Amino acid sequence: MLLLLSACGSDMGANESPTEQSPSEEANEQVNKTNTREANDSNQNGEDQTITFVPQKSDLDAGLSIESDETLAELAGIIETTDYSEIGTEDDVTIQYTGLYYQTEKSIQPIFMVTNKTEQSYTNMDMVVSFKSTDGGSIFEQEKFHLSQEEFGVLRPYTSMPLYLTIDSSKIEVLEKITQTRDEEISIDYFDFETVEEEI
């Protein structure tokens, strides 16, 4: 499996290739809490805002971690180095293209980040996603996806989780163009979910 990186800088782009490290022994080490810069002068009490990178449940169940998997390390690095204000939208759940994708002989999977900047936890999410270049080349046009608790996990407040969506191989030229130029439009056109009540 080949991980292709964006060659151009972007809000959620990557600048360095990931390196392999020793696997973690503790499940709690699977998340990488990142301290990001202040979004703007209006931050309450002058405190820095934070977003926590969390791998999918299926990644964790497979024994993958930020320390052992170069893709997760790369994604965690994106969250760590991207300004808080450029990750997601306040009081909303959003999806953003990372500029990274997997490509094998049989499939292509752009990697997105789903970010929750609300006070509520969500699971078993159904969403309709549109993703296209600004010149009209379409990757998804109101495509339906289900993010189950068994596979995806729980999207907790102020976290960002990776989402791997398979696309038709005929879309590779459009995806490559978006990856290079970052001239893109992406939206969640429909969002349904179950809420999770958790004690903090």
Residue 182 binned pLDDT confidence (cut-offs 50, 70, 90): very high
Give the HSE-up count for residue 94: Cα atoms under 13 Å, Cβ half-sphere: 16
> Average pLDDT of 26-39?
39
> Average pLDDT of 30-51?
49
Residue 12 binned pLDDT confidence (cut-offs 50, 70, 90): low
Note the pLDDT tens digit of each residue in 55-89.
999 999 999 999 999 999 999 999 999 999 999 99
Separation of alpha carbons 162 and 152, rounded Å: 9
Separation of alpha carbons 125 and 154, rounded Å: 9
Q: Are 113 and 75 in contact (CB under 8 A)?
A: yes
| Token pair of 104 as six digits | 């094998």
| Token pair of 7 as six digits | 């060659």
- Find how far residue 194's CA is from the centre of its chain: 20
Domain regions of the chain by residue span: 2-15+50-196
Give the HSE-up count for residue 26: Cα atoms under 13 Å, Cβ half-sphere: 4
The answer, yes or no, to whether residue 11 has pLDDT greater than 60, is no
DSSP per residue, 150-164? TTT--B-TTEEEEEE
Separation of alpha carbons 185 and 182, rounded Å: 9
What is the pTM (predicted TM-score) of this model? 0.77
> Average pLDDT of 122-138?
96
Q: How many CB atoms lie within 10 A of CB 30?
A: 18
| Token pair of 181 as six digits | 């130029």
